[in-house]
Amino acid sequence: MPVAHHVLRHAAGPGGTRPALRCGARTRSYADLAADARAGAQHLVATGTHPGDLVALLLHDPMDTVVALLAVDLAGGTALVADPAWPVHQRAEVLRALTPAVVVHVPLPRAAPGAPVGDTGPAPDDDAVAWAGFSSGSTGRPRAVARTRGSWTRSFGHVTELTGTRPTDTVAVTGPLASSLHCFATVHALAVGACAQLAPGTTATTAALATSDLVHLVPSRLDDVLDALDARMPSRLRTAVVGGAGLDPVQRERAAAHGVDVVAYYGAVELSFVAIDTGGGLRPFPQAEVEVRPQEGTRLGEVWVRSPWVSSGYLAGARGPLRRDGAWATVGDLAEVPDVPDGPLVLRGRGDGAVLTAGATVVPEDVEAALRPVPGVRDVVVAGAPHRRLGAVVVAVVEADDRPGLRVHLERVARATLAPAQRPRRWYRLDTLPRTADGKVARAVLAARLAGTDPSADPGDLAVLR
């Protein structure tokens, strides 16, 4: 986590006794957190961690993960956060493909009570790679994105101004730290000197409303928050910061009825912040230049960005959606070509077929590779279907004979081999998948059927797999 220096500075100043982290009934002050991070860094160095080493964190407790992230930063390493929800084989594949120098399976040693904070030391190198995270859970092809410290910290001033975050605030973080959205929310809160309240999951999130001033979440979790506010749960919330899939205008109206401002943004793990919406549509994030490059024969174009916030790329030579054109970069997202030069950015999905669901990016080929070996499956196509709360849901169309038990078998394989975001929510069957003249599956035909269907209806002649 590229903010250890910020935490040390807060701990050494008047804010040292302020709460820095809260998770359930547990609280750590900035002084506590700084001392723990130092103790953890000393342990890492003593056990062989060197500057520049990739350090994988496989910890279930979010407070332990934050301490470890700060410790890795102080030790000069690059922290790689794994998702606790990953199946065992997926963690093993990540370790095999990325070969981290150090793997942290258990919490790092903590400081003794009352241990001194110490001085802040020299300013860290903004150009050093200080964090690595995943663009999505992936089967067989882990894609870890690397970011320099400066690509995070130099954006903090803009985010602070746009969200109105203050040192006296408590900021609710509503998902796992393996997600860059939630990791950034934690990092930014600590840099400002606020308290990061780690509240992953619907129950924890709604319980945190009574003590939180801001909340960072995806659109589907915003619905949970708004439902809780409608039910008159105690809340002091004033701002919701929403990233990931598209924001429904109704959600903004519901939030306003409760006196909650909504700041929504569009980005990607590879690109960081691209555009932000405070009520008038998506506009370029500060210091980001955005181009929508038209595609022939359509009113849509590919979104390209040039900014200081773009990542360094993928670790271990992995391939992914990130492409570069000089200083410009894209992940293949599509948007309407604006009628006027300064018009808002109107997004229209991914050009490569990737499914954006609840803030996660799911690559169809990864899901297909896991499901295709199931006995009885001749072929399978994975696509996204629109969903109001999640943006889209993953749908599998299986080419197979109609036989009992196939769906149960497929769902069992999906639970064992795929991350939660990758698992299909709907299953359909065809005797024969539609194909192009050269024999390839006509993905566009299936995607069009799925995109035009009501969630409760069968798309065209597809049969629900039972």
Average pLDDT, the chain: 88
Give the count of beta carbons closer than 10 Å to the beta carbon of residue 401: 10
Q: Could you tell me whether strands 323-325 and 328-330 are parallel, antiparallel, or unpaired per DSSP bridges?
A: antiparallel
Sequence ranges of the chain with CATH classification 3.30.300.30: 357-464
Residue 154 is predicted with a pLDDT of: 95
Mean pLDDT of 67-75: 96
- 357-464 CATH: 3.30.300.30
- The pLDDT-based confidence of 199 (bands split at 50, 70, 90) is very high
- Reported as a single tens digit per residue, the pLDDT across 375-413 is 999 889 898 888 877 878 899 999 898 888 999 999 999
Mean pLDDT of 298-323: 90
Task: Return the percentage of the chain with pLDDT > 70, whole number.
Answer: 93
Query: What span, in angstroms and rounded, lies between the C-alpha atoms of 28 and 271?
Result: 32
Task: Return the percentage of the chain with pLDDT > 90, whole number.
Answer: 57
- The pLDDT-based confidence of 188 (bands split at 50, 70, 90) is very high
Residue 351 is predicted with a pLDDT of: 66
Residue 76 is predicted with a pLDDT of: 94
Residue 452 has pLDDT above 70, yes or no: no
Residue 138 is predicted with a pLDDT of: 39
Most confident by average pLDDT, 283-287, 330-334, 345-349, 457-461? 283-287
Mean pLDDT of 218-230: 88
Residue 17 is predicted with a pLDDT of: 94
Residue 317 is predicted with a pLDDT of: 85
Q: Could you tell me whether strands 289-294 and 360-362 are parallel, antiparallel, or unpaired per DSSP bridges?
A: unpaired
Residue 202 is predicted with a pLDDT of: 84
3-state secondary structure of 318: coil
Mean pLDDT of 43-70: 96
3-state secondary structure of 402: coil
- Reported as a single tens digit per residue, the pLDDT across 119-156 is 777 788 899 999 998 875 434 456 899 999 999 999 99
Residue 392 is predicted with a pLDDT of: 84
Number of H helices, E strands in the chain: 13, 27
- The pLDDT-based confidence of 453 (bands split at 50, 70, 90) is very low
Residue 438 is predicted with a pLDDT of: 47
- Reported as a single tens digit per residue, the pLDDT across 150-185 is 999 999 999 999 999 999 999 999 988 988 899 999
Q: What is the pTM of this model?
A: 0.80
Residue 244 is predicted with a pLDDT of: 67
Residue 423 is predicted with a pLDDT of: 93
Query: What span, in angstroms and rounded, lies between the C-alpha atoms of 350 and 260?
Result: 30
* Higher-scoring residue by pLDDT: 118, 107: 107
Q: Which two tokens stand for residue 281?
A: 């549509």
CA distances from 33 to 38, 160, 225 (A): 9, 22, 29
Q: What architecture is domain 4-265?
A: 3-Layer(aba) Sandwich (3.40)
- The pLDDT-based confidence of 25 (bands split at 50, 70, 90) is very high
Sequence ranges of the chain with CATH classification 3.40.50.12780: 4-265
Residue 454 has pLDDT above 50, yes or no: no
| Helix locations, 232-339, DSSP H | 249-257
Residue 248 is predicted with a pLDDT of: 74
